[in-house]
Structure 1
């Protein structure tokens, strides 16, 4: 993971500081978007302070290494931008029961056509519903009631 983090930093000409490498390693291992707080928790007791994490994430977003999405609770979530294009990123699905957010990388939504005078910077799609695991749990509960 460390080699991949170093390679990513080199690709955008960023210095290889310990906070950058560490945060990228966490995002490389993650299978869902993470908040700044979740990133710090995954790093553990040696995590940089909140300001350093925030500044590092801001730099990684500016270099398009990391994608920032505002999901169900309007808190910024971060993930690697390897599935993102210039104007859009893959959709995200948040389960309304378990609150887990998943990346839907296999789905491609067309870009919205904006009215004249508007300039798109990025299109994000966030879908809410019930995930397969929670649907299975709900069905099991229904069967037990009968």
Structure 2
């Protein structure tokens, strides 16, 4: 399975000092692997798996375990969001201050090619009705849709 990461990157990455400040503000030591993981997640336009990050950061000398431990630390510190989109693969994305990637937002997974895409929060409307769990009205749920992407349809 692949993600939509490779061809789509965000513009204007943060400066090194800004990454270091983010990490320190979250209560963690600023290390080169943590900065590298944050940079990669900042550049991605869709959630990345541990394997995606190993593929992109392994050439910089970071091993699988170091990347995994830093993903765990950054998630526990609240800088990164982790989601299982139903295929038993954890995917990670940067928690952003703007409209996109805040808290939980819906994701779309192509059932043919496996591409994962982030959807705008407004693209899926959830409303509670009698008998539904309270977590729905509190918006404490994850939504992921499955189907064929435009390329595979």
Task: Identify the TM-score tier after normalising by the shorter chain.
Answer: 0.7 to 0.9
Q: Which runs of 5+ in 1 are unaligned?
A: 136-146
CA RMSD of aligned residues (A): 2.3
TM-score, reference length from structure 1: 0.75
Report the Cα distance in structure 2 between the residues aligned to 1:111 and 1:36, rounded to whole angstroms: 33
1:74 maps to 88
1:123 CA drift (Å): 1.8
CA distance in structure 1 between the partners assigned to 2:44 and 2:65 by the alignment: 21
Q: Does 1:94 align with 2:109?
A: yes
Verify the 8 A CA contact 1:72 1:94 in the aligned structure 2. no
Task: Kindly tell me the number of residue pairs found equivalent between the two proteins.
Answer: 128
| Equivalence for 2:49 | 35
What is the CA-CA distance between 1:95 and the residue it aligns to? Answer: 0.8
Contact 1:64 1:81 in 2 (8 A): yes
Matches of 2:95 and 2:120, distance apart in 1: 11
Residue 27 of structure 2 contacts residue 77 of structure 2 at CA under 8 Å; is this kept in 1?
no
Normalised to the residue count of structure 2, the TM-score between the two structures is 0.72
Change (3 A) 1:65 1:109: farther
Partners in 1 of 2:63 and 2:117 — Cα distance? 27
Normalized per residue, the structure richer in helix is 1
5+ residue gaps, structure 2, are 1-12
* Residues 61-80 of structure 1: CA deviation (Å, up to 9, x unaligned): 11111111112421111111
Q: Secondary structure at the match of 1:134?
A: coil
After superposition, residues 1-146 of structure 1 pair within 5 angstroms as 1=13, 2-82=16-96, 83-85=101-103, 89-107=104-122, 109-110=125-126, 113-114=132-133, 122-135=140-153
Q: Specify the alignment match of 1:140 in structure 2.
A: none
Query: Which residue of structure 2 lines up, in the alignment, with residue 144 of structure 1?
Result: none
Give 1 or 2 for the bigger CA radius of gyration.
1
